[in-house]
Amino acid sequence: MEKEFVKAITPRSEDFSQWYVDVVLKAELADYAPVKGCIVFRPYGYTIWEYIQAELDRRFKETGHVNAYFPLFVPESFFRREAEHVAGFSPQVAWVTRGGDEDLAERLAVRPTSETVIGVMYAKWIQSYRDLPVLINQWCNVVRWEKATRPFIRTTEFLWQEGHTCHRTAAEAEEEALRMLEVYRSFVEDYLSIPVIPGEKSAGERFAGAERTYTIEGLMGDRRALQCATSHFLGQNFARSFDIKFLDVDGQLKYVWQTSWGISTRIVGALIMVHGDDRGLVLPPTVAPHQVVVVPIVGRDSERVLAASREVTDRLRGRFRVKLDDRPEFSPGWKFNDWEMRGVPLRLEIGPRDLAAEQVTAARRDTGERTALPLSRLEEGVAELLDEVHRGLYRRALEFRQAHTHEAGDLASLRAIMEGPRGFIRAHWCEKPGCEERIKEETGATIRCLPFGEQGEGRCVLCGEPARQVVYLARAY
């Protein structure tokens, strides 16, 4: 039975894509919904999202933001006001055309993002420079009609937060856009143990309606890149379309400067793809629904073992999210596999020998390493091990990314990397859209970002013209 259990997950090395779906379904993170392209976030997966939400929300509030909630529906006329925006999002919109027993006079877009409906309200609320800055965030569901979907990574409906801010000056808005990118970077790196490359998007990859889009890009276990979060400097584009004006200190009526920024449930997909291994999910302790699982090794002396397991669990509860697995119908080995597959960072085994030695045996999920932990320093020992797992995951992911980041000087070497080891490719680009397009056509790689502070002499990887701009390229989700 145990063997069969482990076999149930396709090895990651064999078929990454199938491994991913296996982990999502078997760890009960999500399930396919009876609606095309939608998933159900099952309790185990949703709990991870709850921890992500709680920590991000804390960081947003710490940086002065407040939450609000805007309508799910956007009347078509408002949706159409910002030309680039509507062009970018129209192909992905779900439309409500009937309400109750009547056909609607005007179709309602199910929000794919909320710049438009929020713009209408901001125009009403903002009059004077005293009303600025407006620093509002919203946690909600959005819908984008997608052709090819994948649990967490790309689904028709997903959950996210979208920040929407208004400022007096361009500089302030720019500062805000970068501040929020940094909030995302530190959250994703420090909290989720996922190393990312922060930078700017090329014009071709910009958010529809933005002047500049900033991004953090991570490298998944299959050496494809994933955009983990974005922050946009919107300039005055939406302000003009929605007439969001304020009376400035100098008595002049001016358009506000805006930003928007978002991170979605897609990041749960990143967690799976960056940290997971052949045995299944591996979770950083920060977002693990259970940080520690206690497994009694019953055989002889099972009464005492169970009592000690309960005692250990009770000692840890309050300080850690700990679960005692005392189900009599499963063997310890089966439980080991089950909790490993579900990514629990630390397992504590308690058997008769541990009892005799006044210890527990701790097994780390990330390395598989087992160590004896004296009961006398149980809490400190668990805290240290969890911390080591947390830091170890980041280190391992960073090493993986470093090992899979290559330099390419021309198209031939770029193509060779894409057909071989893949990963991130660092190259120079002349900033011509034509070269960007041809790179994609020829190799499947896209410009993931123009990294901050990395410029220098070089030649465009495609056309060979002199180019100062460094870019990271990758095949992306």
Q: Tokens representing 424?
A: 């991130």
87 is a contact residue toward a copy of itself (CB under 8 A): no
- β-pairing verdict for 157-167 and 134-143: antiparallel
Taking CA 261 as the corner, what is the angle to CA 213 and CA 287, rounded to the nearest 5 degrees? 120
- β-pairing verdict for 424-429 and 245-247: unpaired
Write the DSSP symbol of residue 444. S
Binding-site member from 6, 11, 63, 71 for a copy of itself (CB under 8 A): 71
Is 157 strand, coil or helix?
A: strand
Write the burial class of residue 349 (CB in 10 Å: 0-12 exposed, 13-18 middle, 19+ buried): buried
The DSSP result for 3-21, as a single string, is HHHHHTSPPTTT-HHHHHH
293 is a contact residue toward a copy of itself (CB under 8 A): no
97 is a contact residue toward a copy of itself (CB under 8 A): yes
Q: What CA dihedral angle connects 214, 233, 119 and 159, to 10 degrees?
A: 10
Stretch that binds a copy of itself, among 133-141, 233-241, 353-361, 429-437 (CB under 8 A): 133-141
Q: How many residues bind a copy of itself (CB under 8 A)?
A: 52
64 is a contact residue toward a copy of itself (CB under 8 A): no
149 is a contact residue toward a copy of itself (CB under 8 A): no
46 is a contact residue toward a copy of itself (CB under 8 A): yes
Residue 69 or 452 having the CB closest to a copy of itself: 69
Write the DSSP symbol of residue 111. P
Binding-site member from 17, 58, 66, 83 for a copy of itself (CB under 8 A): 66
Residue 78 or 214 having the CB closest to a copy of itself: 78
If one counts every other C-beta atom within 10 angstroms of the C-beta of residue 30, the result is 23
Stretch that binds a copy of itself, among 99-107, 187-195, 256-264, 370-378 (CB under 8 A): 99-107
Is residue 286 within 8 A of residue 201, CB to CB? The reply is no
If one counts every other C-beta atom within 10 angstroms of the C-beta of residue 332, the result is 17
Binding-site member from 18, 83, 125, 403 for a copy of itself (CB under 8 A): 125
110 is a contact residue toward a copy of itself (CB under 8 A): yes
Stretch that binds a copy of itself, among 40-48, 393-401, 426-434, 459-467 (CB under 8 A): 40-48
157 is a contact residue toward a copy of itself (CB under 8 A): yes
Stretch that binds a copy of itself, among 61-69, 177-185, 209-217, 428-436 (CB under 8 A): 61-69
The DSSP result for 381-427, as a single string, is HHHHHHHHHHHHHHHHHHHHHHHTEEE-SSHHHHHHHHHTT-SEEEE
238 is a contact residue toward a copy of itself (CB under 8 A): no
Binding-site member from 11, 63, 75, 168 for a copy of itself (CB under 8 A): 75
Stretch that binds a copy of itself, among 73-81, 277-285, 341-349, 437-445 (CB under 8 A): 73-81
352 is a contact residue toward a copy of itself (CB under 8 A): no
If one counts every other C-beta atom within 10 angstroms of the C-beta of residue 269, the result is 24
8 is a contact residue toward a copy of itself (CB under 8 A): no
What is the C-alpha to C-alpha distance for residues 338 and 398, in angstroms, rounded to an integer? 27
Q: Tokens representing 124?
A: 């009403």
What is the C-alpha to C-alpha distance for residues 50 and 29, in angstroms, rounded to an integer? 13
Residue 93 or 461 having the CB closest to a copy of itself: 93
409 is a contact residue toward a copy of itself (CB under 8 A): no
31 is a contact residue toward a copy of itself (CB under 8 A): yes
Site residues, a copy of itself (CB under 8 A): 31, 33-35, 38-43, 46-47, 49-50, 66-75, 78, 91-101, 107-108, 110, 117, 120-121, 124-125, 136, 140-141, 143, 145, 156-157, 159
